[in-house]
């Protein structure tokens, strides 16, 4: 399995370390050609405006939705959630528009307002998951096809819609690797269904 990490800006190294530890063969994705080599893609946290502009520059604003609609799993963390959202409030307009969610940029506060919290994630089992929120977006609304996997104070913070996954928090910054394991299982399930573009690399 080859898992791409969008490597334009943000927590690239941190996601690569988790994937390496899980034996998932991470590859850095910077161009549409790089994207053709992977079975799934993580869009990391960082500056969503910067990442979005670079995605446009390198044609990934078109290539990622094309692969996703063909069945490639995509996971967006923090800024990645913003880029996946169909509707975004505050700042730049939505880019990829893949998930039926509405998010508000930086709604949990500025950098100095960053915090950690324990989340119950029934789909992943006990114990609670430690989650790190850094200038995190708030998920304001979700469509009927969106499954809420975890919430904080009544607000969804981890959601799944088919082969798409998004979180307001940064799972790559804690020792708990269960969210990444979930995403890898989503990639395996997609491969078993034969989804994605022909010629993509499999286990």
Q: What residues are annotated to the active site?
A: 78, 170, 172
| Separation CA 88–CA 92 (nearest Å) | 8
| Separation CA 54–CA 71 (nearest Å) | 23
Q: Treating both helix axes as pointing N-terminal to C-terminal, what angle do 178-192 and 12-21 enclose, rounded to 10 degrees?
A: 70
Whether the CB-CB separation of 181 and 165 falls below 8 Å is answered with no
Other C-beta atoms lying within 10 Å of the C-beta of residue 157: 25
Which residue, chain included where needed, has tokens 């799972």?
Answer: 171
| Separation CA 110–CA 199 (nearest Å) | 43
Which residue, chain included where needed, has tokens 């993580």?
Answer: 42
């Amino acid at each position: 399995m080859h898992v791409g990490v969008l490597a334009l800006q943000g927590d690239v190294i941190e996601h690569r370390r988790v994937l390496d530890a899980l034996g998932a063969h991470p590859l850095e994705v910077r161009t549409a050609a790089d994207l053709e080599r992977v079975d799934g893609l993580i869009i990391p946290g960082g500056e969503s405006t910067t990442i979005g502009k670079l995605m446009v520059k390198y044609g990934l604003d078109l290539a990622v939705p094309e692969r996703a609609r063909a069945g490639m799993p995509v996971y967006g963390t923090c800024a990645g959630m913003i880029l996946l959202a169909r509707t975004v409030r505050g700042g730049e307009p939505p880019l990829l528009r893949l998930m039926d969610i509405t998010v508000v940029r930086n709604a949990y506060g500025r950098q100095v307002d960053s915090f950690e919290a324990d989340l119950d994630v029934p789909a992943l089992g006990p114990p609670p998951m430690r989650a790190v929120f850094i200038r995190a977006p708030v998920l304001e609304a979700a469509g009927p096809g969106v499954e809420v996997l975890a919430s904080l104070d009544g607000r969804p913070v981890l959601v799944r819609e088919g082969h798409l996954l998004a979180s307001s928090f940064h799972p790559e910054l804690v020792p708990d690797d269960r969210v990444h394991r979930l995403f890898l299982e989503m990639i395996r399930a997609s491969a078993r269904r034969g989804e994605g573009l022909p010629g993509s690399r499999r286990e």
